[in-house]
Amino acid sequence: MSNIEITHATTGVVEVEVARATRISPHFVRLTVAGDELAGWRHLGFDQWFRLAVPVADDTRFDNLSGTYDMAGYLRYLTLPRSTRPVIRNYTVREFRSDALELDIDFVVHGDGGIAGPWAESLPVGSSVALIDQGCGYRPVEAERTLLVGDESAMPAVLGILRDLPRDARGDALIELADIDDRQHVEAPDGVDVHWIVRRPGEVPGAAALGHLRQLPDFGGSVYAFAAGESKLATGARRHLVGERGVPKGDVTFCGYWRAH
Protein backbone atom coordinates (compact mmCIF):
# COMPACT_ATOMS: atom_id res chain seq x y z
CA MET A 1 0.00 0.00 0.00
CA SER A 2 1.05 3.57 -0.63
CA ASN A 3 -0.23 7.13 -0.70
CA ILE A 4 2.70 8.40 -2.76
CA GLU A 5 1.85 10.68 -5.67
CA ILE A 6 3.70 10.03 -8.93
CA THR A 7 4.94 13.02 -10.92
CA HIS A 8 6.14 12.11 -14.39
CA ALA A 9 9.05 13.98 -15.95
CA THR A 10 9.30 15.08 -19.56
CA THR A 11 12.58 13.17 -19.99
CA GLY A 12 10.74 9.92 -20.76
CA VAL A 13 12.92 6.83 -21.08
CA VAL A 14 16.56 7.65 -20.26
CA GLU A 15 19.03 5.07 -21.56
CA VAL A 16 22.35 4.81 -19.72
CA GLU A 17 25.18 2.34 -19.18
CA VAL A 18 26.58 0.81 -16.00
CA ALA A 19 29.95 2.54 -15.62
CA ARG A 20 31.00 1.18 -12.21
CA ALA A 21 29.83 -1.55 -9.84
CA THR A 22 31.00 -1.88 -6.24
CA ARG A 23 29.99 -3.99 -3.26
CA ILE A 24 29.89 -1.29 -0.59
CA SER A 25 28.82 -3.47 2.37
CA PRO A 26 27.77 -7.06 3.11
CA HIS A 27 24.28 -6.66 1.64
CA PHE A 28 24.60 -3.65 -0.68
CA VAL A 29 25.93 -3.17 -4.20
CA ARG A 30 26.21 0.30 -5.73
CA LEU A 31 25.92 0.69 -9.48
CA THR A 32 26.93 3.96 -11.11
CA VAL A 33 25.18 4.58 -14.40
CA ALA A 34 26.30 7.23 -16.87
CA GLY A 35 25.37 8.63 -20.25
CA ASP A 36 24.63 11.76 -22.24
CA GLU A 37 20.88 11.33 -21.80
CA LEU A 38 21.32 12.23 -18.10
CA ALA A 39 21.94 15.83 -19.24
CA GLY A 40 18.17 16.33 -19.13
CA TRP A 41 17.60 14.52 -15.84
CA ARG A 42 15.23 16.34 -13.45
CA HIS A 43 17.22 16.32 -10.20
CA LEU A 44 14.90 16.59 -7.19
CA GLY A 45 16.97 15.11 -4.38
CA PHE A 46 15.30 13.70 -1.25
CA ASP A 47 13.81 10.26 -2.06
CA GLN A 48 13.53 10.75 -5.82
CA TRP A 49 12.72 7.40 -7.40
CA PHE A 50 12.42 5.91 -10.84
CA ARG A 51 11.45 2.81 -12.76
CA LEU A 52 14.56 0.83 -13.60
CA ALA A 53 14.41 -1.30 -16.74
CA VAL A 54 16.77 -4.24 -16.19
CA PRO A 55 17.98 -6.26 -19.19
CA VAL A 56 17.15 -9.95 -19.19
CA ALA A 57 18.95 -10.85 -22.43
CA ASP A 58 21.46 -9.40 -24.85
CA ASP A 59 18.67 -8.28 -27.17
CA THR A 60 16.54 -6.57 -24.49
CA ARG A 61 14.88 -3.46 -25.92
CA PHE A 62 14.20 -0.14 -24.19
CA ASP A 63 13.16 1.94 -27.20
CA ASN A 64 9.55 0.73 -27.15
CA LEU A 65 8.87 1.52 -23.47
CA SER A 66 6.40 4.23 -22.50
CA GLY A 67 8.01 7.36 -21.08
CA THR A 68 5.46 7.77 -18.29
CA TYR A 69 4.74 4.22 -17.05
CA ASP A 70 1.29 5.12 -15.78
CA MET A 71 -1.54 2.62 -16.30
CA ALA A 72 -1.47 3.17 -20.05
CA GLY A 73 2.31 2.75 -20.04
CA TYR A 74 2.06 -0.43 -18.00
CA LEU A 75 -0.55 -1.91 -20.34
CA ARG A 76 1.69 -1.05 -23.26
CA TYR A 77 4.57 -2.81 -21.50
CA LEU A 78 2.47 -5.96 -21.15
CA THR A 79 1.97 -6.08 -24.92
CA LEU A 80 5.72 -6.16 -25.62
CA PRO A 81 7.32 -9.51 -26.52
CA ARG A 82 8.44 -11.28 -23.34
CA SER A 83 11.71 -12.32 -24.97
CA THR A 84 12.94 -8.75 -25.46
CA ARG A 85 11.16 -6.64 -22.87
CA PRO A 86 13.12 -5.67 -19.72
CA VAL A 87 12.08 -6.31 -16.15
CA ILE A 88 10.84 -3.14 -14.41
CA ARG A 89 11.65 -2.44 -10.76
CA ASN A 90 11.49 0.67 -8.56
CA TYR A 91 14.68 2.24 -7.18
CA THR A 92 15.84 5.44 -5.48
CA VAL A 93 18.44 7.90 -6.72
CA ARG A 94 21.27 7.57 -4.21
CA GLU A 95 23.34 10.41 -5.70
CA PHE A 96 23.23 12.39 -8.93
CA ARG A 97 26.25 14.26 -10.29
CA SER A 98 25.21 16.61 -13.07
CA ASP A 99 28.79 17.61 -13.91
CA ALA A 100 29.82 14.01 -14.64
CA LEU A 101 26.37 12.86 -15.87
CA GLU A 102 26.42 10.01 -13.36
CA LEU A 103 23.76 8.54 -11.10
CA ASP A 104 24.28 6.07 -8.23
CA ILE A 105 21.82 3.29 -7.40
CA ASP A 106 22.10 1.15 -4.26
CA PHE A 107 20.77 -2.43 -4.43
CA VAL A 108 20.02 -4.68 -1.48
CA VAL A 109 21.47 -8.10 -2.35
CA HIS A 110 20.50 -11.23 -0.45
CA GLY A 111 21.11 -14.34 -2.49
CA ASP A 112 19.49 -15.58 -5.67
CA GLY A 113 15.96 -14.33 -5.01
CA GLY A 114 14.42 -11.86 -7.42
CA ILE A 115 15.91 -10.41 -10.58
CA ALA A 116 17.36 -6.95 -9.97
CA GLY A 117 19.39 -7.92 -6.87
CA PRO A 118 21.20 -10.90 -8.44
CA TRP A 119 21.74 -8.86 -11.62
CA ALA A 120 23.37 -6.05 -9.61
CA GLU A 121 25.41 -8.57 -7.62
CA SER A 122 26.93 -9.80 -10.88
CA LEU A 123 28.58 -6.33 -11.13
CA PRO A 124 27.28 -5.80 -14.69
CA VAL A 125 29.66 -3.07 -15.89
CA GLY A 126 28.90 -2.20 -19.51
CA SER A 127 25.25 -3.26 -19.38
CA SER A 128 22.65 -0.90 -20.79
CA VAL A 129 19.66 0.02 -18.62
CA ALA A 130 16.85 2.55 -18.78
CA LEU A 131 15.38 4.91 -16.19
CA ILE A 132 11.91 6.49 -16.05
CA ASP A 133 11.77 9.33 -13.50
CA GLN A 134 8.78 9.14 -11.12
CA GLY A 135 9.42 12.11 -8.82
CA CYS A 136 9.52 12.19 -5.00
CA GLY A 137 7.31 10.49 -2.48
CA TYR A 138 8.50 12.77 0.33
CA ARG A 139 6.07 15.70 0.41
CA PRO A 140 6.31 17.37 3.80
CA VAL A 141 3.63 19.50 5.39
CA GLU A 142 4.49 22.32 7.78
CA ALA A 143 5.42 20.65 11.06
CA GLU A 144 7.75 21.12 14.02
CA ARG A 145 9.39 17.71 13.66
CA THR A 146 10.26 15.20 10.96
CA LEU A 147 10.02 11.44 11.48
CA LEU A 148 11.53 8.95 9.02
CA VAL A 149 11.05 5.19 9.36
CA GLY A 150 12.45 2.53 7.03
CA ASP A 151 14.28 -0.75 6.59
CA GLU A 152 17.30 -1.46 4.38
CA SER A 153 15.21 -1.26 1.21
CA ALA A 154 14.24 2.29 2.20
CA MET A 155 17.69 3.33 3.44
CA PRO A 156 18.60 5.16 0.20
CA ALA A 157 15.36 7.14 0.47
CA VAL A 158 15.82 7.95 4.17
CA LEU A 159 19.47 8.96 3.68
CA GLY A 160 18.54 11.13 0.70
CA ILE A 161 15.88 12.92 2.73
CA LEU A 162 18.29 13.45 5.63
CA ARG A 163 20.87 14.87 3.23
CA ASP A 164 18.43 17.40 1.78
CA LEU A 165 16.44 18.42 4.87
CA PRO A 166 16.81 22.04 6.02
CA ARG A 167 19.75 22.20 8.41
CA ASP A 168 17.52 23.48 11.23
CA ALA A 169 15.18 20.46 10.99
CA ARG A 170 14.45 18.48 14.15
CA GLY A 171 13.21 14.94 14.52
CA ASP A 172 14.14 11.26 14.35
CA ALA A 173 15.15 8.75 11.67
CA LEU A 174 14.72 5.03 12.36
CA ILE A 175 16.58 2.67 10.02
CA GLU A 176 16.27 -1.10 10.51
CA LEU A 177 19.00 -3.36 9.10
CA ALA A 178 19.79 -7.06 9.13
CA ASP A 179 23.52 -6.29 9.57
CA ILE A 180 25.03 -3.29 11.36
CA ASP A 181 27.88 -3.34 8.83
CA ASP A 182 25.42 -2.13 6.18
CA ARG A 183 25.29 1.31 7.82
CA GLN A 184 26.24 4.21 5.57
CA HIS A 185 27.49 7.74 6.12
CA VAL A 186 24.67 10.07 7.15
CA GLU A 187 24.40 13.77 6.32
CA ALA A 188 21.67 14.59 8.83
CA PRO A 189 20.87 17.95 10.43
CA ASP A 190 22.22 18.25 13.97
CA GLY A 191 18.67 18.28 15.32
CA VAL A 192 17.71 14.92 13.81
CA ASP A 193 18.63 11.80 15.79
CA VAL A 194 19.47 8.77 13.64
CA HIS A 195 18.60 5.41 15.23
CA TRP A 196 20.27 2.34 13.69
CA ILE A 197 18.19 -0.72 14.62
CA VAL A 198 19.45 -4.25 13.96
CA ARG A 199 16.83 -6.99 13.83
CA ARG A 200 17.61 -10.37 15.32
CA PRO A 201 18.11 -13.42 13.07
CA GLY A 202 14.70 -14.81 12.18
CA GLU A 203 12.86 -11.71 13.35
CA VAL A 204 10.08 -10.48 11.06
CA PRO A 205 11.41 -7.59 8.93
CA GLY A 206 10.08 -4.28 10.20
CA ALA A 207 9.12 -5.53 13.66
CA ALA A 208 12.21 -4.08 15.35
CA ALA A 209 11.69 -0.65 13.79
CA LEU A 210 8.01 -0.65 14.78
CA GLY A 211 8.93 -1.59 18.34
CA HIS A 212 11.46 1.24 18.47
CA LEU A 213 8.89 3.67 17.05
CA ARG A 214 6.39 2.79 19.76
CA GLN A 215 9.02 3.52 22.42
CA LEU A 216 9.83 7.02 21.18
CA PRO A 217 8.80 9.72 23.68
CA ASP A 218 6.00 12.16 22.94
CA PHE A 219 6.88 14.27 19.92
CA GLY A 220 6.11 17.48 21.80
CA GLY A 221 4.60 19.14 18.75
CA SER A 222 3.38 18.59 15.22
CA VAL A 223 5.15 15.99 13.08
CA TYR A 224 5.40 15.02 9.43
CA ALA A 225 6.27 11.34 8.93
CA PHE A 226 7.65 9.30 6.05
CA ALA A 227 7.53 5.50 6.43
CA ALA A 228 8.71 3.05 3.77
CA GLY A 229 10.10 -0.43 3.31
CA GLU A 230 8.46 -3.78 4.02
CA SER A 231 4.69 -3.40 3.59
CA LYS A 232 3.73 -4.12 7.21
CA LEU A 233 6.39 -1.71 8.45
CA ALA A 234 5.00 1.13 6.32
CA THR A 235 1.35 0.48 7.15
CA GLY A 236 2.09 -0.35 10.79
CA ALA A 237 3.97 2.91 11.28
CA ARG A 238 1.09 4.87 9.77
CA ARG A 239 -1.45 3.02 11.90
CA HIS A 240 0.52 3.74 15.08
CA LEU A 241 1.09 7.40 14.28
CA VAL A 242 -2.51 8.10 13.29
CA GLY A 243 -4.26 5.85 15.80
CA GLU A 244 -2.04 6.19 18.87
CA ARG A 245 -0.16 9.46 18.38
CA GLY A 246 -2.92 11.54 16.82
CA VAL A 247 -0.96 12.47 13.70
CA PRO A 248 -3.33 13.53 10.88
CA LYS A 249 -3.50 10.98 8.06
CA GLY A 250 -2.43 13.57 5.54
CA ASP A 251 0.77 14.19 7.50
CA VAL A 252 2.02 10.62 7.05
CA THR A 253 3.52 9.54 3.73
CA PHE A 254 3.87 5.76 3.52
CA CYS A 255 4.87 3.22 0.91
CA GLY A 256 5.34 -0.53 0.99
CA TYR A 257 8.35 -1.36 -1.17
CA TRP A 258 8.13 -5.12 -0.72
CA ARG A 259 6.29 -7.84 1.19
CA ALA A 260 7.91 -10.42 3.48
CA HIS A 261 6.77 -14.01 3.00
**Which CATH number goes with the domain that contains 167?**
3.40.50.80
Of 102, 136, 170, which residue is a domain's last? 136
The enclosing domain of 21 has a CATH number of 2.40.30.10
159 & 211 share domain? yes
Distance CA(94)–CA(51), nearest Å, equals 14
For residue 3, being part of any structural domain is answered with: no
- For 112-150, the pLDDT digits (tens) are 778 999 999 999 999 999 999 999 999 988 999 999 999
118 & 175 share domain? no
183 & 75 share domain? no
105 & 204 share domain? no
Structural domain containing residue 254: 145-258
Name every residue whose Cβ is closer than 8 Å to that of residue 180 and which is 6 or more positions away in sequence: 196, 198
250 confidence band (pLDDT: 50, 70, 90): very high
For residue 60, being part of any structural domain is answered with: yes
116 & 177 share domain? no
- For 153-203, the pLDDT digits (tens) are 999 999 999 999 999 999 999 999 999 999 999 999 999 999 999 999 999
Q: Cα separations (Å) of 15 from 34, 94, 208? A: 9, 18, 39
Strand spans (E) along the chain: 13-25, 28-34, 49-54, 87-92, 95-97, 102-108, 128-135, 145-150, 170-177, 191-198, 223-230, 252-258
Determine contact, residues 47/109, Cβ cutoff 8 Å.
Answer: no
For residue 5, being part of any structural domain is answered with: no
123 & 153 share domain? no
pTM for the full predicted model: 0.96
94 & 157 share domain? no
167 & 207 share domain? yes
121 & 157 share domain? no
For residue 217, being part of any structural domain is answered with: yes
Number of domains in the chain: 2
